Chain A
Amino acid sequence: MVSVHLQAGELRDIAAEWIQRYFDYLSRGTLAEGAKIVLTKIPAQMTCQTCRAGFNADIRADKIECPECGNDKAVLTGGDEFFIESIEVI
């Protein structure tokens, strides 16, 4: 196994370096030994309650507003994903 491609939403508190460290420990002596973990972050998605536009949001920002209409009433619609996208093998 060459690499493991993970996708994690911005709402998941995933620390890439720790995942690699634990993976290295657990994969010792298996076919997965030495594989690199490649983590891709998926932005938090919000949907504006006023104009229904979907947008990527920085949830740690002081203010979140819709880039289309400027309203600040929006609901979270994505960003908690956490899955294995693919693996690369030889």
Chain B
Amino acid sequence: MDKVRLIDIKELILSDNRDLAEQIRKYLKDNKVFMLNLMASPGSGKTTLIIETLRRLKDKYQVAVIEGDIESQVDADKVAAEGVTAVQLRTGGACHLDAPMIKEALDTLDLTALDAILIENIGNLVCPADFDLGETCKAVVLSVPEGDDKALKYPVIFSVCDALVISKTDYLELSDFDPELLAESVRRLNPSIRIFTTSCKTGAGLDEWCSWLSDQIKAATA
């Protein structure tokens, strides 16, 4: 009987993604460009938030958008209609963006002419949280119709983000959603997270969100 031998490996899975993400982070830093990784479930209002954010920031900063979608390029078309450069990434089934895809998108952009890049990740509260894209900041959008218990059901994404944008607060009147309850459960996992309560319909909270984002862009481009 042959002897079974144990071989120590101790090798990180996803280490190639992490290494490329670190290279991207350095590349952005060298070019003084800020990059946001915006994550959320489908239909939470990511594209609408990006459009409203562009309207408030595009005169102050040179911004480009990387749109991740499984199929179609409707989101990139909406961004382009705002006069902003958009790169559409079609994953053809993959449920998250990863560093190699971002590298490909960055290769089509002139970083010396940019201050900020906003990435709209694939609509999904699970997998995107596991993949470092080399971004400067991560943010998650959660809309009122999704419910205030989502931090308990998807704790990882809420624990890795720098900011949480609660969207569609114009629906609050019609729902049992308690923003305080959500904030409490999110802060338990992530005490330093910034929380913005917004509605793209009424414009509520968008200035606060854009002012925070503006501070992050200033810090990265200084």
**Do A and B actually bind?**
yes
Provide the residues of chain A in CB contact with B6, threshold 8 Å: 86-88
What residue of chain A has the Cβ atom nearest to residue B5's Cβ?
Answer: A89
Report yes or no: A87 in contact with B130, Cβ–Cβ below 8 A: no
Contact with A along B1-34 (1 / 0, CB 8 A): 0111111111111100000000000000000000
What is the bound-complex CA distance between A38 and B10, given in angstroms? 14
A76 contacts which of B7, B10, B152, B190 (Cβ < 8 Å)? Answer: B190
Give the interface size bracket for B toward A.
Answer: 20 to 34
- B5 to A84, Cβ gap below 8 A? no
A75 close to B11 (CB less than 8 A): no
* Pairwise interchain contact A85-B191, C-beta atoms closer than 8 A: no
| 29 A–B pairs (Cβ distance < 8 Å), ordered by A | A2-B4, A11-B155, A11-B156, A11-B159, A13-B126, A13-B127, A13-B156, A59-B155, A60-B152, A62-B152, A63-B188, A72-B188, A73-B191, A74-B191, A76-B159, A76-B189, A76-B190, A80-B160, A82-B13, A83-B10, A83-B11, A83-B12, A84-B9, A84-B13, A86-B6, A86-B10, A87-B9, A88-B4, A88-B6
Question: Could you tell me the distance in whole angstroms from the C-beta of B178 to the nearest C-beta in chain A?
Answer: 14
Q: Total interface residues on A, using CB and 8 Å? A: 26
**A64 is an interface residue with CB less than 8 A from chain B:** yes
Beyond contacts A73-B191, A83-B10, A83-B11: 16 other A-B pairs, Cβ-Cβ < 8 A, are A6-B13, A11-B155, A11-B159, A12-B130, A12-B156, A13-B156, A59-B155, A60-B155, A62-B152, A82-B14, A84-B13, A86-B8, A87-B9, A88-B4, A88-B7, A89-B7
Residues of A within 8 A of B190 (CB): 75-76
CB contacts (< 8 Å) of A84 on chain B: these are 9-11, 13
Q: Write the nearest CB–CB distance from A59 to chain B, whole angstroms.
A: 5
Instruction: Please name all residues of chain B whose beta carbon is closer than 8 Å to the beta carbon of A85 when the two chains form the complex.
Output: 8-10
CB contacts (< 8 Å) of B2 on chain A: these are 90
Residues of A contacting B4 in the complex (Cβ-Cβ under 8 angstroms): 2, 88-90
CB of A40 closer than 8 Å to a CB of B = no
Asked whether A49 and B191 contact (CB < 8 A) given A13-B156, A76-B159, A90-B4, the answer is: yes
> Please, which residues of chain B bring their CB within 8 A of the CB of A87?
6-7, 9
- Residues of chain A with a CB closer than 8 A to B126's CB: 13
A90 touches which of B5, B10, B159, B160 (Cβ 8 Å): B5
In this complex, the member of B9, B188, B192 whose beta carbon has the largest number of chain A beta carbons within 10 angstroms is B188
The interface residues of chain B lying within 8 Å CB-to-CB of A89 are 4-5, 7
